[in-house]
C-alpha cells in the first residue's frame, strides 16, 4: 500500500482472501500504511475508505504504540479527510 498501488489493493480486497489486520516486520498494518499514501483520485479515495471500513483503525502496531489515525494526523495534519 505504501507505494500507492491502489488497483492491486482493490483486487486483493475484492478476492476477500487477504488479511488486512496482519502486521509487517515493523508491526504496521495495511490500514496504517494507507494513512500515509497520497490520494490523487476519487477512485483512490474510495479504495482507502474501503480499507478503513474493513480494517481496524484502532489496531496498535506491535513495535511502536501507534494507530492508523495517529500516524495520519502526525504525517499530514492538513490533508483532506477520507
Output the CA–CA distances (angstroms, integers) from residue 53 to 25, 64, 71, 82, in the order listed: 24, 23, 17, 11
| Residue owning grid cell 479504495 | 47
For 15-62, write each residue's pLDDT tens digit: 988 898 898 887 888 888 888 888 899 999 999 999 889 888 777 766
This prediction has a pTM of 0.68
Question: Are 66 and 60 within 8 A, CB to CB?
Answer: yes
- Kindly provide the b/e burial profile for residues 46-60, where b requires at least 16 CB atoms within 10 angstroms of the residue's own CB: ebbebbbeebebebb
Confidence of residue 14 (pLDDT cuts 50, 70, 90): very high
Q: What pLDDT does residue 59 have?
A: 76
**Domains detected in the chain:** 6-75 (1.25.40.20)
Amino acid at each position: 500500500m505504501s507505494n500507492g498501488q491502489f488497483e492491486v489493493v482493490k483486487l486483493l480486497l475484492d478476492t476477500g482472501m487477504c488479511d488486512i489486520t496482519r502486521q509487517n516486520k515493523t508491526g504496521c498494518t495495511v490500514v496504517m500504511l494507507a494513512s500515509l499514501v497520497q490520494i490523487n483520485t476519487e477512485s483512490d479515495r474510495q479504495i482507502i475508505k474501503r480499507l478503513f471500513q474493513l480494517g481496524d483503525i484502532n489496531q496498535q502496531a506491535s513495535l511502536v504504540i501507534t494507530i492508523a489515525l495517529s500516524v495520519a494526523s502526525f504525517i499530514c495534519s492538513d490533508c483532506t479527510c477520507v
